[in-house]
Structure 1
Amino acid sequence: MTPDSDGLTVGQAAALVGLSVRTLHHWDTVGLVRLTERTRAGYRVYTPDDIARIHRVLVYRELGLPLAEIGLLLDDPTVDAREHLRRQRAQLTDRISHLQTMVHAVDRMLAVSRSDMRLTPQEQVEIFGTDWQPEWVQEAEDRWGDTKQWTQYVERTGALTPDDWRQVAADTEALNADLAAAHRAGVVPGSDEASALAERHRESFSRYFDCTHAMHACLARTFVSEPGYTSYYDSLSPGLTGWLYAMIFANTSAHGVDPESATWG
């Protein structure tokens, strides 16, 4: 049978709208889209209005609506279909904007992964010393991998060369030496000298991501609560971790942020 005034068979309609015959049979069974006419030979067929209803079902299905809700929308005479579609269009626009943001983030990650500038574990140990544990990077990713700060870290470090990393290591060593010397000299947290060191410490993290004073306070809490960090700083000068904690908290307070209630982000 050819498409004519007698309508379309299930097979013809399925080919026209890009659905399977099984799907159309199911929709017929549940009353979503029925074959409303018969040919002169007795075949059940879809009319042009039936095909138009199929297309409306497809639109609503693309919007994520369940079939039962689609049936109610199509059959309820009180539903303003155009207004409903306008609301759905607004939601789709928001979703598209969100997806575009995600695509841009993935593009940035791909660009970084193609740079081939990230250090091998051997290079990390060579540059940062034998105490460096390459798995620390994986641990950091497990903890912060879904944050925008981790995205910034990946972007910024991906562009660094081994020579850049050697400079980072030298800067870190100099900062640690100054922190240890100030601690041994009894520099008081909250003093000008201590605040300057606190800012240098915060800026050392800002090399990798935008480290606010609130985030710096969160890091300070981590230093004293997790043995790995405490061991690292105390190895520079016994008791340095607690002094660094107090120094960061004093500096955070001086910048108008309550370090006790500070949150990450």
Structure 2
Amino acid sequence: MKVKEVADLVGISVRTLHHYDEIGLLVPAETTESGYRLYSEDNLAMLQQILFFRELGFPLKQIKDMIESPSFDREEALALHRKMLLAKREQLDRMIETIDKTMRHAKGEIEMTNKEKFAGFDFSHNPFEQEARERWGNRAVDEANAKVGRMSKEEQHALGDRMNAIYRNLASLRHLPPDSVEAQAGIQAWYEFLQTMGHYTLEAFKGLGQMYVDDERFTRNIDKFGEGLAAFMRDAMAIYADRGKSQ
């Protein structure tokens, strides 16, 4: 099949297929002398696999690494896709039920407990985890996840309270120069907190601060503690890391 035929069949753009070819993710079985890309049945099977991974939120780089691994098994991957999609469907069903109940509650037809209002929400999977893995490697993320996984619910809540306290303290300092004694003491508390969760090098710590500004999702969440906090933390973290590397 030609690239346009594949694009129409699957419902993606020709540009997307060209990009997959350029990065070596899905290379057509053949390219004619006139430059037409021709896709085989094996190509289509691999494209299906890629799109399953994409649907589940995996970045292209990680998909490429996985499918090129000597240990990659397509049947195992499909079984994993099915398991993840069933879990996703179950969560969506719970959220739809919560919406229906909330609409009835708003009309005065039923009463809802506070717990029922949040049924179906699941934040146990960090939406930024894959990006963190891609940028900084698996070690820090795996160590952090393992430590949190071994904690009781009470310990996890205490950890969250500690993290929020650090953010609130930094927010109170954000109008000071980022190289001030107070700001650097606050950032050191953040660095030490992260070190209790996993191993972060000073370079990774500095890069993490830059991500707070580059990624609007981080900026939006951090700035909930105080407008401009993300940019302040970026600057303070860079100063802390550079000073640490020079010692």
Give the TM-score band, short-chain normalised. Answer: 0.3 to 0.5
Higher helix share: 2
Q: TM-score, normalised by structure 1?
A: 0.43
Q: TM-score, normalised by structure 2?
A: 0.46
